[in-house]
Amino acid sequence: MIRATLTFAEADPADVDRLGGKGAGLARLTQLGLRVPPGYVIATDACRHYLQVGGLPEGLADEVFTRLEELERASGKAFGSGPVPLLLSVRSGAPISMPGMMDTILNLGIDRRAAVALAQATGDVRFVADVVRRFHAMYAETVLGALDPGQGLEVLAAAVGPDDDPGEVYDRIWAACEKQLQDDCGESVPDDPRAQLLGAVEAVFRSWNTRRARTYRDFHGIPHDLGTAVVVQSMVFGNLSADSGSGVVFTRNPVTGAPGLFGEYLAHSQGEDVVAGIRTPDPVAEALPAPLLEELRTTCAELERTYGDVLDIEFTVERSTLYFLQVRSAKRTAEAAVRIAADLAGEGTIAPAAALRMVTAEQVRQVQRPGFADDDVAEARAAGRLLTTGIGACPGQVSGKLVLDSDRAKERAEAGEAVILARPVTSPADLHGMIAAEGIVTATGGSTSHAAVVARALGTTCVVGASALVVDERARTLVVGDRVLPEGSEVSLDGATGELFEGAFPVATPAAATAALDGLLRIARRSGDSTVLARVTLPADVAPALAAGADGLVTAVDDVLAATGHIDGLVQSLLDGADDMSAAAFDRIAELVEEEFTPLLAAAGGAEVGIRAIDLVADEARELLQQTAVTTRHPALSVPLGRPALVAAQLRGLAAAAAAAGGAARPHLALRHVSDPAEARALRELAAESGVPVGAYVTSPRGVHHVAEIAAAGDVLWLELRALQAAVFGLPARQLLTAEPLDDYLARGLLTCDPRSSVDPAVVGLLERVAAVRSCPLGLRLSGTVSQETAAQLHALGFRRFAVDAAETRPLVLALGRAAAG
Amino acid sequence: MTEGLDKTDYDVLNAVALKKMASADAIADAIGGDPQQVAERLQGLAGRGLVVEAGGSALPTDEAEPALRAAADQLYAPVRADRTVGELVERFETTNSQFLTTMSAWQQVDVGGRKVANDHSDAEYDGKIIDRLDKLIARLTPLLDVLATHDPRFSAYPRRFRTALAGVDAGRTELVSSPTVDSIHNIWFEFHEDLLRTLGREREE
């Protein structure tokens, strides 16, 4: 009676608990009509019995051998005999994949008779010698627990001549393997194929309780009594004849995502030959005979439709019959992931939500702005090409020609070259060069200096405070220790790690993926229910931000004035001015705002533009704004409405700019650090005359506490997540913009949450309170990269309106589309 | 040049040199000693210009390597003459290159001939690599055992490997290769350096 075993053809693929993951997969493939080498599964019940009783269930051995006879009939091969011997693969298959379980044993069933028959069938004695050696070693290692069995015996198999007698060869190899195993641990591999099979089955059951498997189950809360199934499958041979062979194929190109089979085939070979690199395979489309290629194509297309994904398929051809050995989801590059998701959705193979789930925000980031390859960076470090490490002020990885002054940077960039601008320090006189450069590096200044603030406003890769650098403008060289780089040398800059390298890194151009990315983001926007506003600073930033899918824009008055060269003058006038500045004293600010915001608003057209008012105590700009000096002279500027005239001037300027830009402009002004409903009400009164909508830009836990009333008194409400986290952590907000000091601190285990990349549990409660606001549009201002998890978390909290750095627009649009699609 | 290092000084300085930068606690853990005693030894070594202290950690000076080399020549002459060690070290070369391949498979996945970062979304793939690491570490055991008969401090390696592996099985996968924790990669790397110094050999490549 058949009880414990099920063939691939009869098992229910949904019954993973009894069949295990691998068994269920093979049953599924078989029942999809794929030609899978026949086999059966010993269900997990048998394992549970074994674990309880300590022995194989009664009748299991008989059942295993009955199934074996069926396999012999189905395959036309004979176990332990000829003319073509039946060899088996035996492997473990738990319902949940876990480490520590027994590996596959291949070529089980080899004995003297089978070896001789196999030699005659393949005409390849050396191959048989290798099969014998490999089987012995695999069995010794996985079943008997030997360490490194068969070491040094490859030579013995390799020394077999084509005309050697197969029986003698078997005897020689087997004896040598046995002797080595005896010497090593006193064990012996059975030479009876049936004993081999039962030994392997029992070893699979035993492997359920290896130390590693138990630890893993303990940790993951997997019950210890599930047990594992055993998968017994007949093997097929790709080296039987010229019309046999083996190969691996991807249903689409896993590097570029381009449609069409991508893979390799090697006639007259076993899969191991390809993996071991012994022989070079050929592209499938050329090497596979036409009828087989057609069959493979059709099957791949059907499988793609069934699985809704690109697959990686192992196959073997045995005497012109195609067998499928393994089908799994294909690993792929970021570029391929984007193209595949867009194409599969476009072809209607998968639903839009499924397409979004196939791509991560990080992959979008890689495709839109490719970075350095890890290998290249490691190689450069090893070769001593790392020149120096400063403070990473704005992330990004760029290579370009070294330029030492801003005029030349602009000139070279206009001529089409990628330029890295190195300066001792930057000032407003460098703006044209900074805007033109791909990357900026300075010798002095910290993460709140002019270079850092402007670079962040521009989204330009930037490293500051690289104190080992000496810019010699006279000699036109950059000196680092004893190294001298002439202007024009290739250098590379990493704005996250703060590293400057000599030489360029190749950066893959994702041209082919861009169209696919646009298609995918259209799906994300259609599925999404959120609004994304992108941070811009200059009129030229607007078109790319909108093209990236932004629904609107955000900017800040101080950022715009810094990037247009006015901020130093403004700070100076505050330092020079009278203690009690009159409204007239701020007229200059109104003029500057009008002048610089007119082109920005004009470029934005009808798109909403959220503008943050000047923040003279912005922690991320403390050096640039000379905060200590300014607030010593004007303590009132430390509080949001300490000098209402400063806010009124910005409102006047914006109203004038909006009028000058044409009727479509939709600016609003938000005031940072508002924490009291009274401030919010005062702000609205102040703005009434200008007609510009206003609101609070909350940064503090107190502001959150009063958020409902603050929102009620405004036209808009913004909350800055970075500033709020910094306040809750009690850290200066600028420390959340750089790698250090937090990288080191986290590495030492002194903080359990990284406030730069995830929302702290202590902040979640505050966010819930904010998310409840309904009385006006509520936006969350995010800084730096926003992970898929954070985006999903914020979406789940109820936020639907976000502002991000321009480069994060596409990743966030995707992440929010995914979050909305569920 | 300073006079020769005694055994404890050697152990402490060796640990500093292997870790490039380490606190007294970390050194004590690596050599199985008492943190207080290690701290005293570090002071002595600093006085001799072999280490410098910075932010609670010790760093080796340029003088450290030559001093260690000279001391190892004396201390480990018997190890270098041991034929069993010699044979096992030859096997270690193979194991070591397998280890390096396994580590790069942990960090990067081959996709149609292109390397992409392993995003650790495939538990089966990662599980296979961890299984392999487990076996590779087991393969070090005979060598570590023989070395420990010459110098008990080598028994710290199996202990550290066990701790790291147990952590990996408990889901702390950063213990595979993170440079900032006592990961399998770090322990292996330190052992390799330590072995080369013990044997008086130079790193190839």
d(CA A433, CA A419): 9
Q: How far is A212 from chain B (nearest CA, A)?
A: 7
Half-sphere exposure of A617 (CA within 13 A, CB side): 18
Most confident of the following: A201-215, A237-251, A477-491: A477-491
pLDDT in tens, B56-105: 888 889 899 999 999 999 999 999 999 999 999 988 988 898 899 899 88
Render A395-436 in DSSP notation, one character per residue. Answer: --EEEEEEE-SHHHHHHHHHTT--EEEEESS--GGGHHHHHH
From B168, which residue of chain A is nearest by alpha-carbon distance? A216
Q: Which residues of A touch B205 (CB under 8 A)?
A: none
Q: Do B169 and A216 touch (CB under 8 A)?
A: yes
Q: Of B108, B169, B171, which is closest to A212 when you measure between CB atoms?
A: B169
d(CA A35, CA A298): 13
The domains located in chain A, with CATH, are: 45-234 (3.30.1490.20), 245-332 (3.30.470.20), 374-502 (3.50.30.10), 555-670 (no CATH)
- Average pLDDT on A706-719 reads 97
Q: Do B111 and A100 touch (CB under 8 A)?
A: no
pLDDT in tens, A180-222: 999 878 889 999 999 999 999 999 999 999 888 888 888 888 9
What is the model's pTM? Answer: 0.80
Q: Which residues of A touch B131 (CB under 8 A)?
A: 99-100, 103, 212
pLDDT score of A718 more than 50: yes
- Average pLDDT on A643-649 reads 94
| C-alpha separations of A10 from A31, A39, A150, A389, A574 in Å | 8, 11, 39, 63, 84
Find tokens 């005693």 and name the residue: B37
d(CA A324, CA A299): 10
**A741 prior amide bond cis, ω within 30:** yes
d(CA B159, CA A753): 30
Instruction: Please report the pLDDT score of residue A428 as a whole number.
Output: 82
- In B15-76 the beta strands, taken as DSSP E runs, fall at 51-54, 57-60
Model confidence band, residue A5 (pLDDT cutoffs 50, 70, 90): very high
In chain B, domain spans: 7-74, 82-199
Q: CB-based burial of residue B152 (10 Å sphere; 0-12 exposed, 13-18 middle, 19+ buried)?
A: exposed
Instruction: Please report the pLDDT score of residue A375 as a whole number.
Output: 80
Q: CATH number for the B7-74 domain, one of 3.20.20.70, 1.10.8.60, 2.40.400.10, 1.10.10.10? A: 1.10.10.10
d(CA A569, CA A583): 18
- Report yes or no: A463 and A500 within 8 Å, Cβ to Cβ: yes
Give Cβ neighbours of residue A334 (< 8 Å, ≥ 6 apart). Answer: A362, A363, A364, A366, A367, B116
Model confidence band, residue A450 (pLDDT cutoffs 50, 70, 90): confident
d(CA A132, CA A155): 13
Find tokens 């004695």 and name the residue: A125
Instruction: Please report the pLDDT score of residue A509 as a whole number.
Output: 52
Instruction: Please report the pLDDT score of residue A278 as a whole number.
Output: 57
- Report yes or no: A445 and A623 within 8 Å, Cβ to Cβ: yes
Q: Which residues of B touch A373 (CB under 8 A)?
A: 115
Q: Do A212 and B131 touch (CB under 8 A)?
A: yes
Model confidence band, residue A596 (pLDDT cutoffs 50, 70, 90): very high
Phi, psi values for residue A232, rounded to 5°: -115, 120
Instruction: Please report the pLDDT score of residue A141 as a whole number.
Output: 87
CB atoms within 10 A of CB A373: 19
pLDDT in tens, B131-184: 889 989 988 999 999 999 999 989 999 999 999 998 998 888 899 998 778 899
pLDDT score of A275 more than 60: no
Tell me the residues of A at the B interface, defined by beta carbons under 8 Å apart: 97-100, 103, 147-148, 212, 215-216, 218-220, 250, 253-255, 262, 330-334, 336, 360, 362, 373-375, 747
- Average pLDDT on A741-752 reads 87
CB atoms within 10 A of CB B171: 12
Q: What share of chain A has pLDDT > 90, as a percent? A: 68
d(CA A170, CA A173): 5
d(CA A306, CA A460): 44
Q: How far is A499 from chain B (nearest CA, A)?
A: 18
- Average pLDDT on B3-23 reads 88
Half-sphere exposure of A749 (CA within 13 A, CB side): 4
pLDDT score of B2 more than 50: no
Token readout for A129 is: 């010698």
Is B55 part of the contact surface with chain A (CB cutoff 8 Å)? Answer: no
Residue among B92, B95, B111 with most chain A CBs within 10 A, to mutate: B111
Instruction: Please report the pLDDT score of residue A574 as a whole number.
Output: 86
DSSP, res A149: T
Q: Of B111, B122, B130, which is closest to A333 when you measure between CB atoms?
A: B111
Render A329-346 in DSSP notation, one character per residue. Answer: EPP--HHHHHHHHHHHHH
Residues 77 through 96 of chain B touching chain A, CB cutoff 8 Å = 91
pLDDT score of A507 more than 90: no
Q: How far is A562 from chain B (nearest CA, A)?
A: 38
Q: Give A46 or A393, the one with higher predicted confidence.
A: A46
Model confidence band, residue B124 (pLDDT cutoffs 50, 70, 90): confident
| C-alpha separations of A233 from A36, A41, B75 in Å | 9, 8, 56
- Average pLDDT on A561-572 reads 90
- Nearest CA to A655 out of A697, A613, A593 is that of A593
Instruction: Please report the pLDDT score of residue A274 as a whole number.
Output: 59
Instruction: Please report the pLDDT score of residue B1 as a whole number.
Output: 42
Query: What is the four-CA torsion angle of A94, A100, A104, A109, rounded to 10 degrees?
Result: -100
Q: Of B112, B139, B180, which is closest to A254 when you measure between CB atoms?
A: B112
pLDDT in tens, A97-129: 887 788 789 999 999 999 999 999 888 898 899
pLDDT in tens, A754-793: 999 999 999 999 999 999 999 999 999 999 899 999 999 9
Q: Of B91, B112, B127, which is closest to A255 when you measure between CB atoms?
A: B112
Q: How many CB pairs under 8 A join A and B?
A: 63
- Report yes or no: A462 and A370 within 8 Å, Cβ to Cβ: no
Q: Do B124 and A97 touch (CB under 8 A)?
A: yes
Three-state DSSP at A678 gives helix
Instruction: Please report the pLDDT score of residue A177 as a whole number.
Output: 95
Token readout for A781 is: 């201002």
- Report yes or no: A249 and B203 within 8 Å, Cβ to Cβ: no
Find tokens 């004849």 and name the residue: A241
d(CA A245, CA A269): 5
